[in-house]
A and B are shown apart, each in its own frame.
Chain A
């Protein structure tokens, strides 16, 4: 129910609506809940509404932390 997916904004229509794209599929969605949505932003989409902007920098940092967690352990030890 709370599932939501990151989609890329390709056109901001007005204060309330934008067109987003995911794997080639385009859809008009509501951006009423998020401030300052710009073309190129990734927004997290839930039941037709953008809920939050995805922080691209933080996504990168999280992936680095995940990689570090694995590298810190020598596979031979486990």
Chain B
């Protein structure tokens, strides 16, 4: 694949690894959080920890939309499918997230719910057009990367007057989540960090500018990186250099896709359809103010929460599950007693084991036979 394979080259990776080894200062510890699940997956899949010096530690962040979606939100979707008889459409990973009463969307489907996996919002619109006698709800999850396609669908539904289509909006925002982790680190509830590997495609949409206030405010370097292994290695090198020279800037390794201002057209379409929620519950992080989006009043007819008068009920996670602490970077997957025993990718108990980019699933798939200290 053009523009993919080049960024997986083994010789170049060895070269960057040598440069990282040469730059790290003896006795100094470097703890960096890769915010995105995409980076977590690349780090596990390509064995990046084995290329890094002992002093450099990568901590997995909460940037996995499936992982941070709380049980109560999935319960709403299951309610719509089983009690209200809608066709519920969503992206694949969401189907296996554990919800209340031992259910998942997949199991709700076995109980007769009409739940359909889609690849694109365009598929959800097509299902609505093809089934005018049925109501179709799109369970929309994801960070800023996945939000613009939902906006495209809402604008198309409005244009077409597609009255049987609505969206259960669970889109969340990256910068407030990073700020929340840095605040929690101050009070000991999240990992202490020396810098961030910043999001790839979130940044393609929002640009690199939104990270500038907290790089300066919290004095933490941020390097935006692509999702290929060389991108991650190069970003780690850039972070080490910033730490060594006492800088805390936003740098961009992923210049082939990310600019400072981002995708203005996508930002405008999202702003047209959605506005900030006062607060939103994240699995692991709890309620985070102004960290998620809801539909604007203009789109009330397409807002499943308004249309079906849904009210969100928080539900506690499984008692033995460490997903919350893992999402805050204070625990590793192997620290969880459910990991690899009752909780596996085939039968996940916690959300971090569901998506291939969840820390637990990535570690289970690629790293569980590695020796860790």
Bound: A44/B87 CA distance, A: 30
Do residues A51 and B205 form an inter-chain contact, with CB atoms below 8 A? yes
Do residues A69 and B120 form an inter-chain contact, with CB atoms below 8 A? no
Chain B residues closer than 8 Å to A33, beta-carbon distance: 148-149, 152, 263, 265-266, 269
* Residue of chain A at shortest CB distance from B151: A33
How many residues on chain A are close to B (CB under 8 Å)?
42
Bound: A69/B237 CA distance, A: 9
Q: A47 and B119 in contact (CB under 8 A), knowing A42-B3, A59-B3?
A: yes
B127 touches A (CB below 8 Å): no
Do residues B253 and A3 form an inter-chain contact, with CB atoms below 8 A? no
Chain A binder among B18-26, B105-113, B176-184, B329-337: B18-26
Q: A63 and B146 in contact (CB under 8 A), knowing A32-B152, A51-B205, A54-B257?
A: no
Size bracket of the B interface:
35 or more
Do residues B146 and A47 form an inter-chain contact, with CB atoms below 8 A? yes
Interface SS majority for chain A: mixed
B64 touches A (CB below 8 Å): yes
Do residues A52 and B204 form an inter-chain contact, with CB atoms below 8 A? yes
B14 touches A (CB below 8 Å): yes
* Residue of chain B at shortest CB distance from A60: B256
B16 touches A (CB below 8 Å): yes
Do residues A2 and B142 form an inter-chain contact, with CB atoms below 8 A? yes
Interface code A18-62, partner B: CB below 8 Å = 1, 0 otherwise? 000011000001101111000000101011110110111011011
Most chain A CB neighbours (cut-off 10 Å) among B16, B64, B199, B227: B16
Do residues B142 and A1 form an inter-chain contact, with CB atoms below 8 A? yes
Do residues A70 and B14 form an inter-chain contact, with CB atoms below 8 A? yes
B93 touches A (CB below 8 Å): yes
A4 touches B (CB below 8 Å): yes
Do residues B19 and A2 form an inter-chain contact, with CB atoms below 8 A? no
Bound: A48/B152 CA distance, A: 11
B residues sitting closer than 8 Å to A (CB atoms) are 1-4, 6-7, 11-12, 14-16, 18-19, 21-22, 36-38, 63-66, 91, 93, 119-123, 141-143, 145-146, 148-149, 152, 199-202, 204-205, 227, 230-231, 233-234, 237, 253-258, 263, 265-266, 269, 355, 357
